Amino acid sequence: MTFYFISQETALINKTHDIQFDSTSPVSLNVDAEKIGSVIHNLISNAIKYSPNARKIEVACRISGDQVTVSVKDQGIGMTPNDAKKVFDRYCRVENNETKNISGFGIGLYLSAEIVRRHGGTIWADSIIGSGSTFYFSLPLKD
């Protein structure tokens, strides 16, 4: 599976943001490519949804030890540390003045987290209000 293809496909569909991809050498994973692809697509879609137009979104893939970590960084509205901890809960939506007009059911990140966990991985987010968020997930490398 190729992370580059997913980010480029999203970049072709989306003309409002500058999506950049940075990767290490090719990565071999023992995963359901469609499911992991949906995780990456969801993270990129959320970055677009919660970021002003014409902002940069950075998608990166790094190998560290026996893990590969994918990150999606936006320059959006950000969230509090408390919200970042619970954003992967089912039906969780960050509620504030900036998100009240953004549609969603609070299920996408929950499903993404379930997919990552069922592949033996972990998912988390770092964020600063007004400066954006970075969502990460790590998966074990193929034996």
The CATH number of the domain where 91 resides is what? 3.30.565.10
The C-alpha atoms of residue 62 and residue 83 are separated, in whole angstroms, by 26
Structure tokens that stand for 106 in this block: 């609070």
The C-alpha atoms of residue 92 and residue 112 are separated, in whole angstroms, by 13
Which pLDDT score, from 0 to 100, does residue 77 have? 87
Q: Which domain holds residue 37?
A: 3-140
H helix runs in the chain, sequence order: 3-13, 33-49, 81-86, 108-118
pTM for this entry: 0.85
Mean pLDDT by 10 residues, the chain (143 residues): 57 70 76 90 89 84 91 91 89 63 74 97 94 95 75
Closest CA to 95 of 114, 73, 77: 77
Q: What phi and psi values does residue 139 have, to the nearest 5 degrees?
A: -135, 150
Which pLDDT score, from 0 to 100, does residue 19 have? 80
Whole-number Cα distances in Å, 95 to 55, 60, 83, 89, 98: 22, 28, 9, 14, 8
Which pLDDT score, from 0 to 100, does residue 1 have? 47
Task: Count up the domains in the chain and report the number.
Answer: 1
